[in-house]
Amino acid sequence: MDSNLLPLLERIASALERLSPPAPSLGGLETADAFIWHPALGRLSPVAHVAHVDIGLLRGVERQRNMLLENTRHFAQGLPANNAMLWGARGMGKSSLVKAAHAQANMVDGKPAARGAGRVALVEIQREDLSTLPELLALLRESSRRFIVFCDDLSFEREDADYKALKSVLDGGIAGRPANVLFYATSNRRHLMPREMIENESSTAINTAEATEEKVSLSDRFGLWIGFHNCAQDTFMDMVRGYARERHLPIDDADLVRRANAWSLSRGGRSGRVAFQFIEDLTAELSAQE
C-alpha cells in the first residue's frame, strides 16, 4: 500500500469512529433519582429536579393515588409489583401522579431519603423511542438500583414496531422483565389505540372476537389498570382551594369560587390541569397587586 495513503485512511477511520453511536453506558447513576433515556447517545441523562406536585395536592383521585402509591412502595421495598397503565380524561393528573408517587416512595419519615442506590429512579422514555426498550432494559438489568421506566401520553395509530416492542417487553420475552424494573405509562385512550381502528379491524375480520382481543391485548398486559374520569364541580373547587391554601393566596372563598368558575367556563371544562393553570394566573395577578 502506498505509504502516502496511510494518513488519509487513519483520518477516515477516526471520523467513522466518531460518527458511530457510543456503547450504552450506566455511568452517573448515583448523581440523580430521575433520568431521560437518549438512545442515540446510548446513555441516561440525569434530571437534577423533577417537576412534580406534592401528592397531597392531587384531589379527586384518592382511589387512584392509593393504588399507584401502594404498588410503587411495594416495588421500592423489593416486593412484587405490577406494571401500571393510567388512562382516561385529559388533565386529571395521570402523569403528575406517577411523578408524585415516585417522590413519595423515596421518602423516609416524611423526608427525602439520602440519595443512593437504595432509592427508586425514574427513567423517562419518549413514545418514539419505544423500539429501543429492549436495549434500555438490558442496560438497567446490570444495575443494583430499582427503576420505573415511564412513558407519558402513550398511544398507537397502528400495530407498528414500537407496539410490538412494548408488547414483548411487558410479556417479558425469553429473558423475562428485569426484577429491578417496572413500566408505567399514561394514555388518554383506554386500549392505547383509536376506537375506530379497533372497530374497523373487527368489522373486516373473519373472527371479530379474535381481532378485537388482539388489539386490546397490549393494555391487558399491564397488571395495574387505573382509570381517570372527568371531575365534578365540587371536586374541581376542592382542587382550587387546595392549591390556594398551599400558596397562602390572600383571597376570600367566595371570590375564589367565582373566579375559578369563570376560568373553567373560558377553558370549556374542569380538570386538575385547569385548576392549576387558574391558580398560576391568580398567583401572578395577586402578586402584581402587592
- Position 264 scores a pLDDT of 95
CA distance 44 to 264: 39
Structure-model confidence comparison of residues 275 and 9, the more confident one: 275
pLDDT higher than 60, residue 17: no
Beta partners for 44?
A: 37
* Confidence class for position 125, pLDDT limits 50, 70, 90: very high
Residue with cell 367566595: 254
Backbone region of residue 91 per phi and psi (left: phi > 0; alpha: psi in -120 to 50; beta: other values)? left
- Position 9 scores a pLDDT of 59
pLDDT digits (tens, 9 = 90+) for 243-287: 999 999 999 999 999 999 999 999 989 999 999 999 999 999 999
pLDDT higher than 70, residue 228: yes
Residue 26 is which amino acid?
Answer: L
> Could you tell me the three cell numbers for 8?
488519509
pLDDT digits (tens, 9 = 90+) for 158-170: 666 677 778 777 7
Q: What mean pLDDT is reported for the chain?
A: 82
* Confidence class for position 119, pLDDT limits 50, 70, 90: confident
CA distance 200 to 184: 28
pLDDT higher than 50, residue 172: yes
pLDDT digits (tens, 9 = 90+) for 70-79: 999 999 999 9
Backbone region of residue 78 per phi and psi (left: phi > 0; alpha: psi in -120 to 50; beta: other values)? left
From 98, 100, 115, 123, select the one nearest 35 (Cα to Cα).
123
- Position 260 scores a pLDDT of 96
- Position 210 scores a pLDDT of 45
pLDDT digits (tens, 9 = 90+) for 179-199: 899 999 999 887 676 555 544
> Could you tell me the three cell numbers for 254?
367566595
